[in-house]
Amino acid sequence: MRAPGATVLVVDDTPENIELLDGILSSQYRVKVATNGERTLQIARSDDPPHLILLDVMMPGMDGYEVCRKLKEDPRTRRIPVIFITARSEMEDERRGLQLGAVDYIVKPISPPIVEARVATHLALFDQRIALESNVRERTLELTEALDALERERKEHASASARADYLLSFDPVTGVANRHDFVMRLERAADRLRRGGQRLALVSVNLDRFHMINAAHGEQVGDRLLRTIANRLAKCIRATDLLARIGPDEFVTLLSEDDRLTGEELSAAAAELGERMLAAVRQPIDSDDILAAGPVEITASGGVTLFPDDCDEPLGLIKRLQAATIHSKSNGRDRVTRYSPTLDANLGHQLQLEQGLRDALRNRVLEVHFQPKLRVHDRWISGAEALVRWPDGKGGYINPSEFIPLAEDTGLIVALDRYVLETVVADATLWRAVSAHGGRIAVNLSAASFGAPDLEDMVRDVLASAPEPVCLEFELTEHTLLGDVQSVVHRLHVLREMDVTLALDDFGTGYSSLAYLKRLPFDVLKVDQSFVRDIESDTDDRAIVGAILALAKRLDFKTVAEGVSTSRQLEFVESHGCDEVQGFLFSPALPSADFIRLLGEPAPVAS
């Protein structure tokens, strides 16, 4: 039986019947009363509807049948159980009432026990129905949620499967084919062409110093740069050619002989494509692409191999392609090399050189030499640039142009930078002698070192180990500063707070120099020697050097001209207000002891 508190609506136009029913029910239920159909519908549709309605059939106006029909048509009231009360006991009347939705009939004269029993029974049935409907809804919701979860799992599985299929063939960063797919397609192409006596060519493009960009500025910047480069390279090839990324910084394309490309034309087309791809890489990259202070320039090195001329086995062909690419890198970069058997020996030499450099760093056999800087107005030495030298064990030195690029390509450049800095700082005698003349020792800092997370800690540790106060200057190129401007500016300010002077090296050779001058906190501007070299004969170089020096003076930068090797060059930069010069006119880079002996004396060119 329903607990007390259930509401029963009694509908009858006879007061005596209402009084009788109220007397029967009020001890167990809350009773509401209506005397006509309109009031019945109003109460049933209210915010406090009854749980059951006892409805008289015969009423003036709207009879009980009509009231019941309206109740069952209305979604708000259709679930309220209705029991008809009538003096008519004909079977047809009962059938009609049940068809309209009534749950039971009570025949007058009213019997209290029957009323109590019928009301209690149908309220209990109503409660059970409500509970059952609630259980059905809950179970339906649970089933729906389970089905939704299964559907999500199915979609996730399908997505993961599709992703796995995609990653099996495509590079997730650039969207071009990956190494796995490239090798498979190369093997199929080689089998097909071998049977037909045809040839194919591989052309590689390996980005120069790309690992330094990742190390200095993070993989997000590196990935954006890779996508830009991949899009450019895709525009260089035919729709039938394959472009793939087969290494962190290496792309390769496959050219097959066809009706339009046969015989020796294939070799020439491969070489021409390699040059075209390098030119595409070389184009300045907008700052919006990789968050730099201005357009950024990057270069690449390339290689070309032919099948079956160089090798008739796909993996061997790729190995020879990489040997050609390494040769391009070790011979100045930004060029394409056609494979030849002699390059295998060069590759072995490069591996031997790399191991030798590692040993030299570990055994600390590298030397640091100093190229003096000359103060223009009085011709006295004002400082020096520290330059690393690698003894060859035969009384000479390995050319820096050979091992510095190797250090950059192998990631050894960070260890090399620290080696130079530690060596310079450890020479207390040098520091004392230079400081007496107000000069500073400049150390070149690579992009990889500048971007290293522990740069500030490394510099603090090295400076703290110095036995004498240190006058240090870091020289940084525009390439070093590639990346998010705010991060670059913050790092430069941290270095300046350590009393480190900052010099922008090779000024004028990049695309974003003016942007750097405006936004980055440099103290010194170094005019690149490529402009100074020809100022005696080239009017354009004279104009460029004059403009750089004038701009620097207006912006209150100290200026240094590199590569001054003649008196006329010195006179020209002096006449345009240059503060310091360095170059062979005065001295090449010298061992520490020889450099110290020069201090305290006017330079030989002081006439």
Beta pairing, strands 380-391 & 367-375? antiparallel
pLDDT reading at 135 higher than 60 = yes
Check pLDDT > 70 for residue 516: no
In this prediction, residues 234-249 reach a mean pLDDT of: 89
Q: Which of 224-228, 298-302, 377-381 has the lowest mean pLDDT?
A: 377-381
- Cα 607 to Cα 604: distance, rounded to the nearest angstrom: 8
Range of weakest confidence among 145-154, 271-280, 411-420, 453-462: 145-154
Of 229, 221, 230, the residue nearest 291 (C-alpha): 221
Q: What's at 295, amino acid-wise?
A: P
Would you say residue 68 has pLDDT above 90? Answer: yes
Q: What pLDDT score does 240 carry? A: 81
d(CA 294, CA 369): 34
As a whole number of angstroms, the distance between CA 513 and CA 296 comes to 10
Q: Indicate the range of 26-35, 195-204, 432-441 predicted with least confidence.
A: 432-441
Residue with tokens 């109460």: 43
Q: What is the mean pLDDT of residues 233-246?
A: 90
Give the pLDDT of residue 216: 65
Interval 91-120 mean pLDDT? 85
- Mean pLDDT value of segment 1-21: 81
The answer to whether 490 and 528 have CB atoms below 8 angstroms apart is no
Residue spans of alpha helices (H) in 48-178: 64-73, 91-100, 112-169
Q: What is the b/e burial string over 346-377, where b = at least 16 CB atoms within 10 angstroms of the residue's CB?
A: bbeebeebbebbeebbeeeebbbbbbbbbbbe
Mean pLDDT to the nearest integer, 88-109: 80
- For range 413-434, the mean pLDDT: 82
E strand or H helix that includes residue 570:
helix 567-575
What per-residue confidence (pLDDT) applies to 59? 86
The percent of residues above 70 in pLDDT, for the chain, comes to: 89
Q: For the residues 311-328, what does the mean pLDDT come to?
A: 90
* Torsion angles phi and psi, residue 246, rounded to 5: -110, 0
Please name the residue that has the structure tokens 């159909």: 37
Most confident of 57-61, 243-247, 406-410: 243-247
Q: What is the pLDDT of residue 168?
A: 76
**Which amino acid, 146?**
A
Burial of 218 (0-12, 13-18, 19+ CB in 10 A): middle
Confidence check: pLDDT of 419 > 90: yes
- Beta strands per DSSP E along 397-461: 397-398, 440-444
pLDDT higher than 70, residue 551 = yes
CATH topology of domain 177-340: Alpha-Beta Plaits (3.30.70)
Pick the CATH number of 7-134 from 3.40.50.2300, 3.90.1150.10, 3.10.20.30, 3.40.50.10240: 3.40.50.2300
Are the CB atoms for 307 and 201 separated by under 8 Å? Answer: yes
List, as own/partner pairs, every contact residues 68-75 make where C-beta atoms lie below 8 angstroms and the sequence separation is at least 24, other chains included. 68/97, 68/100, 68/101, 68/102, 69/100, 69/101, 70/37, 70/41, 71/40, 71/41, 71/44, 71/101, 72/100, 72/101, 74/41, 74/44, 74/45
Over the stretch 80-92, which tens digit does the pLDDT of each residue have? 999 998 877 667 7
Q: What does the pLDDT read at residue 2?
A: 46
Name the band, by pLDDT with cuts 50, 70 and 90, for residue 346: confident
What was the pLDDT predicted at 145?
A: 85
pLDDT tens-digit readout, 35-54: 999 999 999 999 999 999 99
Question: What is the DSSP code string of 178-218?
Answer: EHHHHHHHHHHHHHHHHHHT--EEEEEEEETTHHHHHHHH-
Sketch the domain layout of the chain as residue ranges: 7-134, 177-340, 351-598
User: Confidence class of residue 1 from pLDDT cuts 50, 70 and 90?
Assistant: very low
Band of residue 263 on the pLDDT scale cut at 50, 70, 90: low
Mean pLDDT across the chain, nearest whole number? 85
Question: What pTM did the predictor assign?
Answer: 0.60
**Residue 506 phi, psi (nearest 5):** 55, 40
Do the domains at 7-134 and 177-340 have one common CATH topology? no
pLDDT value, residue 430: 66
Confidence of residue 489 (pLDDT cuts 50, 70, 90): confident
Contacts of 490 (CB under 8 A, 6+ apart): none
Which of 41-50, 95-104, 110-119, 340-349 is predicted with the least confidence, judged by mean pLDDT? 340-349
- Amino acid in the structure at residue 246: I
User: Considering the chain, what percentage of its residues have pLDDT values greater than 90?
Assistant: 38
Superfamily grouping for domain 351-598: EAL domain (3.20.20.450)
pLDDT band, very low/low/confident/very high, at 427 (cuts 50, 70, 90)? confident
Residue type, 277: M
Of 19-28, 192-201, 484-493, 501-510, where does the model show the most confidence? 19-28
Say which range, 8-12, 169-173, 234-238, 493-497, has the weakest mean pLDDT.
169-173
Q: What is the pLDDT of residue 341?
A: 86
User: How far is it, in rounded angstroms, from Cα 219 to Cα 158?
Assistant: 29
